[in-house]
């Protein structure tokens, strides 16, 4: 039988929701109880926000890309003669 206390699928879903909103008290307690027992989900709880931070960093990573000159020249013409 599927009970919350051993339900890693539900626990990890709550971990994701928790990052965005405060969980209702009952769910917070269920999650707390689950995390006491489940080492895998404790790992998940640590790694999940780390992954979010990494994604943020990757999106901000310095880049040296430049607009292709042809494309930029074409755009520049449009900006020079608005209307």
Partner 1 sequence: MALLVPEPAQWLARYGDELYRYALSRVASAEEAQELVQDTLCSALDALASFRGEASERTWLFVILRRKVVDFYRRQARSPFVPLPVLPEQDPEAEFFQPATGHWQPGQGPADWAAPSDEDALEQQEFQAVLRSCQQRLSPQHGAVFVLRFAEELSAEEICAALQLTAANYWVIVHRLKLHLRRCLEKNWFGSTLRS
If one asks whether residue 30 binds partner 1 (CB under 8 A), the answer comes out as no
The only residue of 8, 25, 28, 29 in contact with partner 1, by rule CB under 8 A = 8
If one asks whether residue 65 binds partner 1 (CB under 8 A), the answer comes out as yes
Least separation, in Å, of the C-beta of 1 and partner 1? 8
Nearer to partner 1, 25 or 82 (CB): 82
- Residue 72's Cβ-side half-sphere holds a number of Cα atoms within 13 Å equal to 5
Report how far Cα 13 is from the mean position of its chain's Cα atoms.
Answer: 12
If one asks whether residue 36 binds partner 1 (CB under 8 A), the answer comes out as no
Q: Are 28 and 21 in contact (CB under 8 A)?
A: no
Q: Are 34 and 5 in contact (CB under 8 A)?
A: yes
If one asks whether residue 22 binds partner 1 (CB under 8 A), the answer comes out as no
């Amino acid at each position: 039988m599927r009970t919350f206390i051993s339900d890693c699928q539900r626990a990890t879903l709550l971990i994701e929701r928790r990052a965005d909103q405060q969980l209702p008290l009952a769910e917070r307690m269920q999650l707390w109880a689950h995390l006491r027992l489940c080492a895998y989900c404790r790992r998940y709880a640590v790694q999940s926000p780390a992954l979010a931070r990494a994604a943020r960093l990757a999106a901000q990573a310095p880049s040296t890309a430049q607009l292709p000159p042809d494309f930029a020249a074409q755009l520049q013409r449009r900006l020079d003669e608005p209307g």
